[in-house]
Chain A
Amino acid sequence: EAGVTQSPTHLIKTRGQQATLRCSPISGHTSVYWYQQALGLGLQFLLWYDEGEERNRGNFPPRFSGRQFPNYSSELNVNALELEDSALYLCASSLGLDPSSTDTQYFGPGTRLTVL
């Protein structure tokens, strides 16, 4: 069974540009999560999508946004890039919205974003 996939593997942008990162969840999973792992800061929660809707958002500015498509894949967009946005961006997926359960999140390999 294929795991979570992310593209591109590496992305180099300059300050002020926009970046688009993509994620395909494990087959059968409807929830997609995005995390940022910057050097020295650990994993920080960015966004959670399920069934095409944004369900929860971390403490990040509005220039971090995303969407989930009908096939459950997801896109993370970062506008007006700043140097401190350089990080490993990780996508995770889980089975989906169920108030009675705590879903295990399975992570992809990440996209390394470098802002020059």
Chain B
Amino acid sequence: EDQVTQSPEALRLQEGESSSLNCSYTVSGLRGLFWYRQDPGKGPEFLFTLYSAGEEKEKERLKATLTKKESFLHITAPKPEDSATYLCAVQAADSWGKLQFGAGTQVVVTP
């Protein structure tokens, strides 16, 4: 059965304190791995799509990387506006269209 596990569940950072979020997955054939951020009561906002091991993508203070078993979302010198829940999702080769989400990592960045 496909599984997506995110850690830690929650992360509290000081402004400027870099850190990494982990997403480990078990899936029968990976079509793609997705990162989203979600603010309370709102829909997820798309960040990155990764397709194969070794791939990296960057956007402002965020960088996502992918291996065969896990993905990392690195937050460099975070600001309070980076506070959100970060969600990881995978799409399996045998379940077209369906995204399987992890439970998310809640990040709070304090000034």
Residues of A within 8 A of B (CB-CB), count: 26
Question: Which chain B residue shows the least CB distance to A49?
Answer: B97
Distance of A34 from chain B, by nearest CB (Å): 11
Contact partners of A103 in chain B: CB under 8 A: 97
A110 interface contact, C-beta 8 A: yes
Among B44, B97, B103, which residue has its beta carbon within 8 angstroms of that of A55?
A: B97
Q: Is the CB of A104 within 8 A of B42?
A: no
User: Are A45 and B102 also in contact (CB < 8 A) when A106-B46, A110-B42 are?
Assistant: no
Q: Is the CB of A104 within 8 A of B46?
A: yes
B111 interface contact, C-beta 8 A: no
Q: Is the CB of B96 within 8 A of A55?
A: yes
Q: Is the CB of A31 within 8 A of B97?
A: yes
For B12-46 the 0/1 string (1 means CB < 8 A from A) is 00000000000000000001101010000111111
Residues of B within 8 A of A (CB-CB), count: 25
Question: Which chain B residue shows the least CB distance to A94?
Answer: B97
Q: Is the CB of A48 within 8 A of B103?
A: no
Bound together, the chains give a CA A92 to CA B46 distance in angstroms of 11
A58 interface contact, C-beta 8 A: yes
Q: Is the CB of B97 within 8 A of A107?
A: no
Contact partners of B36 in chain A: CB under 8 A: 107
Q: Is the CB of B43 within 8 A of A42?
A: no
For this complex, 28 residue pairs linking A to B, each with C-beta atoms less than 8 Å apart, are A4-B43, A31-B97, A33-B97, A33-B99, A35-B99, A42-B103, A43-B44, A45-B98, A45-B100, A50-B97, A55-B96, A55-B97, A56-B95, A56-B97, A88-B41, A102-B31, A102-B32, A102-B49, A102-B51, A103-B97, A104-B34, A104-B46, A105-B99, A107-B44, A107-B45, A110-B41, A110-B42, A110-B43
